[in-house]
Structure 1
């Protein structure tokens, strides 16, 4: 194919009548061929013939139903939101790039930005639980809070910040199994005896993970909120979803991949997973063909000579895919000698801010989320 056979993302989206997220989804489902732009390594080009064929297919009768069905799998968002969007390979949170936010914001400041309130404080709240795992303790805390919660759509607007701050505080302390006070990133740092540099990396990671459009856990939160369930109940839905091995639990597989690389066992690890998408253990992302910007913003902070960072680079080169946020979190945790479950704890604590923002937005819309099914024998 010559250069005339390849078109840029803007042209492809115009021909298909879709947003960039859907274009990336078509690539991930191998419906479109993609290659790097030799004149600009930051861009990708798409096979014009594939784009035209897909555009023709989408104009067939029943195409709308089929496209709607496919949209559930990495397709266009099914809900309108003013909280976050993916644009030009970057995540934007209420009009600010996540990179800009991560430079200076704490998680509490990020929450205030997402919830559109003046400030968010996380008071001392006990997360005491007899359960042994971070996710178990956090869910235990939310179960108890759910019993005391009121319907989400019965709360006044000025109730959101105090309630949200208490929930963020309690869940974080439950994740850590320690009742601490102060900013969330400093709580993590104290619990894990982290250096000042590590604590700042934790602050950055929490902000980078605070929201990511309509991912599965956020969608679960919005579904619960749309029914009028209490805010703790909506967060419980999100946390349960996050715990899955193909979502927040992917950090476990990312850690296994990185440890194998550090031990010289990368090929053995990859051979055992040759039928598995590298996305499941920290490489590539369907929404970011040119690389997950959150991963880049974390990895670039780590010492260039750090063994975990070099191992990430070697795996990335071997797979032909850049690291995603799960691998970046894992590498950061290893560089700073954090506990094995640190990546999940950081992910869950950070994402609370976005979940609460989406729950508020959904409750204020007054709409219930109720997709239709297409029966098939």
Structure 2
């Protein structure tokens, strides 16, 4: 729960509902979807207050959508639903895979089991060999994954076999060795020569990263799949999108933050500015993936202290990005392991999105509005 900030104009529920023209129940729904931020009243902890800027932004959006041309121009703005999916849902602060709570699945499921759930069919292992990895530096994960996925499938594509092969190919990009007949979390554990305890944390991480509704990388995958691209090429699109610092690449920012603080460098934590890895717009009350992964980790003392400091100042808890970095640091995994686990886990969801969109048979092709550039 985030405390109010002096920089924010806050509204009581009645006023926020009135401005939006909705009932209080609908307002609570907006909060659970991350569209309106909610804060405890400094005068009465039982009362909730709502960010006026979020409410006003929704009012403007509604006005925009009444004008067809403007609606088309802004159809891809952050947070606007652009297509239907039966894969993943984010509701009331929970992440659900095909209606099953992801945090509950993380208690015992493997990534392969979750991939089968998301895709809607069991994975099948083909006997054909995987392309050989060309190194084991987890920090060069994206480049290596794209090179490995660029090898054409040895036979006509069969989604059940291809999904399994692609997951294993992506995992090999993080370890430098091809997985054998063992679950992927065990492959990472053995390749990184870490403990059984770390292997269990890796398993949880892979499951919690498996999908996240229509993220930027999932959208990139669906765009590629909509053109008829192969599953491997669709996943390459996802890998490229995930690498950006506003997506999975945020793990690099989080690691640098932890390392700077550990070295004694002054890095300001302020109420008015979210700390990368400690705020997610879809989870006003905290990222359940981060909570499920951090629970039980033998955190470094410095990481535990930083997490407490951020919580005390901002009220925020670790998102999946910060939790992955803390996992990497807790077990002394290879540098870049956080991103490698994120990308491997998310591959399961990308495959599900690609297969689902293929079945829909529609090309994703927005229109652009041409604007004449001003002469300099």
Query: 1:164, 1:36 → 2: CA distance?
Result: 45
- Aligned to 1:74, which of 53, 74, 78? 78
Query: 1:318, 1:34 → 2: CA distance?
Result: 17
Q: Do the aligned partners of residues 375 and 230 (structure 1) sit closer, same or farther apart at CA in structure 2, a change above 3 Å counting?
A: same
Query: 2:82, 2:119 → 1: CA distance?
Result: 21
Aligned residues: 355
Q: Do the aligned partners of residues 19 and 231 (structure 1) sit closer, same or farther apart at CA in structure 2, a change above 3 Å counting?
A: farther
Query: Does structure 2 conserve the Cα–Cα contact (< 8 Å) formed by 1:137 and 1:177?
Result: no
Give the 5 Å matches for 1:49-60.
Answer: 51=55, 54-55=58-59, 58-59=62-63
Determine helix, strand or coil for the equivalent of 2:267.
helix
Query: Does structure 2 conserve the Cα–Cα contact (< 8 Å) formed by 1:210 and 1:353?
Result: yes
Q: Do the aligned partners of residues 44 and 134 (structure 1) sit closer, same or farther apart at CA in structure 2, a change above 3 Å counting?
A: farther
- Aligned to 1:270, which of 253, 268, 271? 268
**Greater Cα shift, 211-220 or 60-69:** 60-69
Aligned-pair CA distance for 1:47: 5.4
**2:6 paired residue number:** none
**1:137 paired residue number:** 144
Q: TM-score, normalised by structure 1?
A: 0.82
Aligned-pair CA distance for 1:370: 1.2
**Greater Cα shift, 313-322 or 359-368:** 313-322
Query: Does structure 2 conserve the Cα–Cα contact (< 8 Å) formed by 1:108 and 1:120?
Result: no
Query: 2:188, 2:57 → 1: CA distance?
Result: 51
Aligned-pair CA distance for 1:119: 4.3
Aligned-pair CA distance for 1:97: 0.9
Query: 2:97, 2:44 → 1: CA distance?
Result: 26
Query: 1:69, 1:186 → 2: CA distance?
Result: 47
Bigger RCO (CA 8 Å, 6+ sep)? 2
Structure with the larger helix share? 1
**1:219 paired residue number:** 219
- Aligned to 1:308, which of 303, 308, 319? 303
Query: Does structure 2 conserve the Cα–Cα contact (< 8 Å) formed by 1:7 and 1:48?
Result: no
Segments of 5+ residues of structure 1 without an aligned counterpart are 28-32
**2:183 paired residue number:** 183
**2:92 paired residue number:** 88
Q: Do the aligned partners of residues 61 and 204 (structure 1) sit closer, same or farther apart at CA in structure 2, a change above 3 Å counting?
A: closer
**1:30 paired residue number:** none
**2:34 paired residue number:** 24
Q: TM-score, normalised by structure 2?
A: 0.82
Q: Do the aligned partners of residues 341 and 49 (structure 1) sit closer, same or farther apart at CA in structure 2, a change above 3 Å counting?
A: closer
Query: Does structure 1 conserve the Cα–Cα contact (< 8 Å) formed by 2:258 and 2:303?
Result: yes
**Greater Cα shift, 186-195 or 351-360:** 186-195
Query: Does structure 2 conserve the Cα–Cα contact (< 8 Å) formed by 1:258 and 1:312?
Result: no
**1:98 paired residue number:** 102
> Residue deviations 1:107-158, cap 9 Å, x none?
0000110111134558763442269622111110111137x686xxxx6xxx
Q: Do the aligned partners of residues 293 and 304 (structure 1) sit closer, same or farther apart at CA in structure 2, a change above 3 Å counting?
A: same
RMSD, matched Cα:
3.5
Query: 2:47, 2:191 → 1: CA distance?
Result: 41
Query: Does structure 1 conserve the Cα–Cα contact (< 8 Å) formed by 2:65 and 2:71?
Result: no
Query: Does structure 2 conserve the Cα–Cα contact (< 8 Å) formed by 1:127 and 1:137?
Result: no
> Residue deviations 1:168-188, cap 9 Å, x none?
111211221122322110111
Aligned-pair CA distance for 1:284: 0.5
Segments of 5+ residues of structure 2 without an aligned counterpart are 1-10
**1:341 paired residue number:** 336
Q: Do the aligned partners of residues 178 and 130 (structure 1) sit closer, same or farther apart at CA in structure 2, a change above 3 Å counting?
A: closer
